[in-house]
Amino acid sequence: MVSDKPRIVIAGSGSIGCYVGGSLVAAGHNVIFFTRPPAETKMRQTGLKIIDLDGTEHVVSTDSLELSSDPEIAFAEAQIILVSVKSGATEEIAQLVRQYAPSDTIIVSLQNGVSNAETLRRSLPDTTTVVTGMVPFNVVQSDETGQPLTVRRTTQGTVLIGDNVPELPAVLSTPALPVQVHPDMQGVLWGKLLMNLNNAPNALSNLPLAQQLADRNWRKLVADLMSEGLAAMTAHGIRPAKVQGVKPAILPWILRLPNFLFRIVARRMLAIDPRARSSMWEDFSRGRTTEIEYLQGVVTRLADEKGLAAPLSAKVITCVKKAEGKPLRSHSIEEIRS
């Protein structure tokens, strides 16, 4: 059972973690952020600002923020841990949770990728409940000097979680953060993976999402990546579920439409804040390692296992690896395809 005001830990203070955690704090929840020291210092100095899709702002003052970079402090009384770290850090978080959190804690993975919840289950005691989750919307972060750390939601969508803790959606839902149960979360994760195959092209383009999606040549590149992904999934009997009401099989077809038809058919897809960019672009801009191995890397591994070709996915991985840790620059479509 989950109490009415559980102790919630946000494990990861990137854009999603800050938005989710800030929304919960603004709604009166008992939240502590487990964060890296630089983010802890920034938030202690300036607070946290949450901007919803409709422009509504919530400023969480420094007095209202509970933060720690010490896992023993952060996890000590955890009843719910929302994991929002990059996929490559999942095993590390699992070990810290195992060492410092109560054994009956509920863990919710709100990460990209298709295997993080399973990684957590393998690493944690049987008494720990792991819930698969998916955040469909985009959040951008800014940390201007002297201003609160600001996270702005730029696209629509409802957080989806598995049904193994029935009361959890009611506990976690806020006006800014609706949460619903979905019966096929693994299918949802595969559907989200297909959508996330645009993370790398968007980052490499160095364009806002709306501007990139308005260009048919960029859309055709993404459509070709999705076609490789769908072929690899089909070969393994994997059936991705709809994300935001769009059937995965028709996504490449929609993206390849001429511009005038695309604007009609994909009005909802284009209803995004002009500042929206992919999380991988944010990784590039901050000099961080990306999640490319958990996106296009999954497609190439699935394809290899069935003797299929996924040459474009492999090329995108190469481009991303070369761009990691380097100054931001705009790649051309021809450069990626060549």
Q: What does the pLDDT read at residue 259? A: 94
Domain identity same for 84 and 164: yes
More confident residue, 42 or 88: 88
Helices (H), the chain: 15-26, 37-46, 71-75, 90-100, 116-123, 168-172, 185-196, 199-205, 209-213, 216-235, 251-255, 259-265, 267-270, 279-285, 296-305, 311-323, 333-337
Question: Which among 163, 183, 203 is the end of a domain?
Answer: 183
Residues 90, 72: Cα–Cα separation, whole Å: 17
- pLDDT of 270 > 80? The answer is no
- The CATH number assigned to the domain holding 255 equals 1.10.1040.10
Residue 75 maps to a domain: yes
Domain identity same for 67 and 215: no
Residues 208, 105: Cα–Cα separation, whole Å: 39
Residue 2 maps to a domain: no
Residue 74 maps to a domain: yes
Q: How confident is the model at residue 236 (pLDDT cuts 50, 70, 90)?
A: very high
Q: Show the domain range for 95.
A: 7-183
Residue 1 maps to a domain: no
Q: What does the pLDDT read at residue 272? A: 83
Domain identity same for 24 and 69: yes
pTM above 0.75, yes or no: yes
Contact between 17 and 33 under an 8 Å Cβ cutoff? The reply is: yes
Q: How confident is the model at residue 1 (pLDDT cuts 50, 70, 90)?
A: low
Q: pLDDT tens for residues 135-189?
A: 999 999 887 777 899 999 998 899 999 999 999 999 999 988 999 999 999 999 9
Residues 231, 197: Cα–Cα separation, whole Å: 14
- The CATH number assigned to the domain holding 161 equals 3.40.50.720
Sign of CA dihedral 158, 207, 88, 144: negative
Domain identity same for 302 and 173: no
**Number of structural domains, the chain?**
2
Q: What does the pLDDT read at residue 5? A: 86
- pLDDT of 268 > 80? The answer is no
